Every structure is written in C-alpha cells, then in structure tokens.
Amino acid sequence: MKIKFIPLLIVQLFFYSGVNGQELHLLAETFLETLSPELQKKTVFELTSEEREKFYYTPVYRKGSTLKEYNEEQQTAALALLRASISSEAYKKTQEIMELENILLVLENDPKMPDGSAKRDALNYHFWIFGKPAQDQFWGWRFEGHHISLNFVASEGTLVSSTPFFLGSNPGKVLEGEQKGHEVLKKETDLGYALVNSLTPEQLKVAQFSEKAPYDMFTSNHSEASKLGHSGIKYSELNSEQQEAFKTLLQLYLDNFEAKFSKTFKENIDKGGMQQLSFAWAGSLERGEGHYYSIQGPTLLIEYDNTQNNNNHVHTVVRDFENDFGEDVLKEHYANDHN
C-alpha cells in the first residue's frame, strides 16, 4: 500500500494555524482532537509510563495507534506533528524508509508475523503521546515502526530531547525494480567511507578497533546507552582536512534534528570541546563489505552499522548519554517540583 503523505495539506495546516516547529503542543492537541476515543486510548500514555523508554527498530508487536488506522484527516494531523519535530531532510528520509516496506513485501514474498498480521506494511508506523501536550508542561511523543524510532520530550513549546533517534534502511541500496540504485542513507555511508579512507596507515591503526564489523550497533535498542569500549582516533589527532571531513559527518546527523534543537544539541557538544570527540571504525574499508563506525564524546554517541543482508542493511542511531528520553531534564524538573 502506498503512503499518503499529503504534503500540501500539511503546508496548509502550518500556514493557516500559524504554528511553527517550536509550538509542538498545539500540533499534538490538534492531532489528538481528530482521534476517536478508542484511538485516543491506544495513543495516550502517562509521561511516567515505562512504555516511554521502550524503543524498537525491528518488526515487532507495538502499542500505540498506527497510520493504517487513521483516516486522511488523522494522517495529516499526525504527520504534521512529525514534520514539525524533525528537519525536512529527516522527514524525507522517514518517507523513503517507510516506502521500502513495499519493496520488502515483494522480496520476502509477503511475510507474516506470528499472529498472522503483515510483517511488511508501509502504514504500520505507530504514534504515542506521553503526558498532556501543553505549553507549561513536560510531555513527550514517539513515532516508530520498522527502521524508524524517533523519541521526543518537549516543554515550553520547545523540544528538550530528541534521542534516541534511529533511522535504518533495508535494502541499504535497492538492487532492482523502479528504485534500483536508490540509497536512503547514502550520505551516511559515503561520508563515513570518505573519512576512514583519508586516514594514514598510522592513524588507521588507532581508529580501526576490529577488522570485522559487529552484527549490529553495540547499543542496540537498550533504553540506557553505555559508553563504548573502543575509543578510536580523537578529533585532535586528525589533520585539518580530516577534521573538516569529521565535522561534515557529524553535522549530517545533527541536521536530522529540528533546527532549534539541532543548534542547542551542537552547542552542548561544543561545550565539551570537539577535541573530546573520536571516530572509530570496524570492518572492511572496501565498499560492499561489512563495516561499522561510531562518533563518541562525553555526552554524544553516533553509531552506524552495515553488515546484515549481505552488507546491504544500514542501521544508524544518535544517543545522548545524559538526556536520552529527556531523562536529565525530567530528573531536574521532578526534583525542583518536589522541592
């Protein structure tokens, strides 16, 4: 089934309501108002619910309501919230990732889940609202399905957390059909290769921690991300051209965030200093073979892995060691509120 993204209606919604990307509670309220009581019950959870810190990027049973349950008005309102929470480039990636389900449906001959439901469905993407969306309250929301898991916390009309932020692509590169040659996460692949292949043999010995890439990202879908054992090569150990390549790769991931949040997130990284960041690689330097890389710092972790399905299956994630799921800001909020 093809996804109806209705971009014109979304643009009209923004224009006529006067809502911008930092007034998310208004979009969330509008979305919830379109839902029936039954769909609202499936969609809304307490902010303190354990459900809020669960995330999956594989085809599994999920709570939350889905795009395939929505009528056109509800889809439009739901996708308006998504569009306002991320960058236009990231929104485009989510559309393309969802469309890949139609390719997998054919390649895998219409696979089924254990309960008989469709394993591949371009509309089987879920929405959750956590807490009550309001200008003066903390609340959160999530958009998730196969190869997408985007988690948000907002307050005062502004995003205060946008991690974990997972995007994946299977196939990584479409090998046949109308979309042959298309790569949703092509830049993530190309810029990683560009940086690792710019290293001298001596630098590569520091950056490459294994000649074999891991089967998946080390943090997987763990609710709490731990710092990785491999350190890689520090930013300060790169020459000026390599440092520019490093910054370009880093910015690619930051550019997936909504603009204001992206700026704040980058400022927090800069406080620790670029010198504290490192780049690590595992696997082959040759295209088409299994490979992995990470960017890690005191608060930041980015992971990229491409090893599954004959090295044509990409996973990427951005984690915040201190503030995944808004943990840091919510702890401070609850402590102040209690006092």
Return the C-alpha torsion angle 80, 84, 90, 96, nearest 10.
Answer: 0
122 assigned to some structural domain: yes
Question: Do 123 and 259 fall within a single domain?
Answer: no
- Domain finish residue from 129, 163, 197: 163
C-alpha pair distances (Å), 11 with each of 77, 81, 84, 232, 260: 11, 12, 11, 43, 19
Name the token pair of 197.
């292949």
Cα 163 to Cα 5, 75, 156, 219, 328, distances in angstroms:
24, 23, 18, 13, 12
> Is residue 149 located within the same domain as residue 231?
no
Answer yes or no: do 205 and 158 share one domain: no
Domain that holds residue 282: 186-322
Do 17 and 126 have their domain in common? yes
* DSSP result, 313-324: -EEEEEEETTTG
176 domain-assigned: no
Per-residue pLDDT at 17: 40
Query: Which residue, chain included where needed, has tokens 């393309």?
Result: 96
Q: Do 158 and 193 belong together in one domain?
A: no
Q: How far is CA 106 from CA 24, 127, 163, in A?
A: 37, 26, 32
Q: Residues 227, 321: contact at Cβ < 8 Å? A: yes
Q: What is the pTM of this model?
A: 0.92
Tokens of 100: 């890949």
For residue 23, the model assigns a pLDDT of 85
Which residue's structure tokens are 């439009």? 76
Counted residue by residue, the chain has a size of 339
One digit per residue, the tens of pLDDT, for the chain of length 339 reads: 445 554 434 434 443 344 454 589 999 999 999 999 999 999 999 999 999 999 999 999 999 999 999 999 999 999 999 999 999 999 999 999 999 999 999 999 888 888 888 899 999 999 999 999 998 899 999 999 999 999 999 998 889 999 999 999 999 999 998 999 999 999 999 999 999 999 999 999 999 999 999 999 999 999 999 999 998 999 999 999 999 999 999 999 999 999 999 999 999 999 888 999 999 999 999 999 999 999 999 999 999 999 999 999 999 999 999 999 998 777 666 666 654
User: Which sign does the torsion angle of CA 163, 263, 20, 22 carry?
Assistant: positive
Residue 184 is predicted with a pLDDT of 98
pLDDT of residue 335: 66
- Which DSSP string corresponds to 70-105? --HHHHHHHHHHHHHHB-HHHHHHHHHHHHHHHHHH
Residues 6+ away with beta carbon under 8 Å from 287? 193
DSSP letter (8 states) at residue 126? E
**How many domains does the structure of the chain reveal?**
2
Distances (CA, A) of 194 to 198, 240, 249, 250, 334: 6, 14, 9, 13, 44
Residue 109 located in a structural domain = yes
